[in-house]
Amino acid sequence: MANENSTWGAPRIHGELLALGIEIDETTVSNYLKRFRTGGKPPSQTWRTFLENHMHNTFAIDFFTVPTATFRVLYVFIVLLHENRKIVHFNVTANPSAEWTAQQIVEACPWDSAPKYLLRDRDEIYGTVFQNRVRGMGIEEIKIVAKSPWQNPYCERVIGSIRVDCVNHLVVLNEDHLKCRLSEYFKYYHKERTHLGLDKDSPSGRPVQEKLEAGKVIALPRAGGLHHRYELRRAA
């Protein structure tokens, strides 16, 4: 069937088999089809499987830009640990270079805490200077396919959150102002902001509050009042 119908996938072939009275699970058909179409070789590890298998020892890096009140463009560099979505390092500059970017990796890995893998895109800024520094730290670079940001999903998701939760609500004056506001937001992000990918927990772990028979829910402003943490306090 696969030979005669090159566009058919496992569901179509499975349907035909059922119509022939052949009882078989669709997953089994899918597994055989993958082997058939790869010349009998087992399929390679999927990208998602790779990310899941190496959550604990993979850093992801990326830049995003923020305009200032005077129309300058600032570049924010972030280093993210996949396992718990922690932003282990960030910095801001108006003039990014390969040397500056390489130094950020060094600062993100104190006390021999370098990860096994570093996930990044193919931006020219990650040139020879950067690659030599990373290689010297014993880190293996994993470069995503060109124009495929979905292959760096956690970093892209975090940058989206930073924009929506923070920088889209700011009029940035300069580098120091942006660093200050981002530092404030990251405190909230790490300790209190819940994450769908962490089963509604925060990256640093947020303990569940003890139940009270009677109390009042109060709002505690965070990140300059952009966000709030809620706690149940005993009634006075």
Digit-coded pLDDT (tens) for 176-216: 999 999 999 999 999 999 988 898 899 999 888 887 777 78
β-sheet with 58-67: strand ranges across: 86-93, 73-81, 58-67, 117-120, 140-143
Q: Between residues 13 and 63, which one has the greater pLDDT?
A: 63
According to DSSP, the β-strands at 215-222 and 86-93 are unpaired
How many angstroms separate the Cα of 167 from the Cα of each of 39, 146, 161?
50, 27, 9
What are the domain boundaries of the chain? 10-44, 49-198
Comparing CA positions, the residue from 66, 46, 62 lying closest to residue 54 is 46
Residue 43, pLDDT > 70, answer no
At position 18, the amino acid (one-letter code) is L
- Report the CATH fold assignment for 49-198: Nucleotidyltransferase; domain 5 (3.30.420)
Q: Model-level pTM?
A: 0.77
